[in-house]
């Protein structure tokens, strides 16, 4: 999770201050669950979409990396996939 923060900053020119604060306060798993379960995409998600970097979202991390699937409910994975599909993201399973 911290790696996507760093990459967003260095490659996309986006400093996700609120996201970093969430990571520091509640850790990666709870941050991911909170963002995925929100009814609307976060401001950070929108900023990354505008930069063409949805690959740096929590949703993409959770969906594309099967090693994390066990930490999330099937419903959470579905929500993340749906959000990405709504923004026409092309999945890259890893």
CB-based contact 44:19 (threshold 8 Å): yes
pLDDT score, position 94? 72
Distances (CA, A) of 70 to 48, 52, 82: 26, 28, 18
pTM of the predicted structure, to 2 decimals: 0.92
CB-based contact 26:34 (threshold 8 Å): yes
Quickly state the pLDDT bin for 34 (edges 50, 70, 90). Answer: very high
pLDDT in tens, 39-86: 999 999 999 999 999 999 999 999 999 999 999 999 999 999 999 999
pLDDT score, position 66? 92
Q: Using CA atoms, how far apart are residues 59 and 27, in angstroms rounded to an integer?
A: 16
């Amino acid at each position: 999770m911290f790696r996507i923060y760093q990459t967003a900053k260095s490659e996309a020119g986006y400093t996700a201050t609120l996201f970093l604060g969430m990571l520091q306060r509640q850790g990666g798993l709870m941050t991911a669950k909170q963002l995925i379960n929100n009814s609307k995409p976060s401001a950070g998600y929108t900023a990354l979409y505008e930069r063409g970097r949805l690959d740096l979202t929590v949703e993409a991390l959770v969906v594309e990396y099967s090693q994390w699937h066990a930490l999330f409910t099937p419903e959470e994975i579905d929500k993340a996939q749906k959000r990405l599909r709504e923004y026409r993201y092309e999945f890259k399973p890893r």
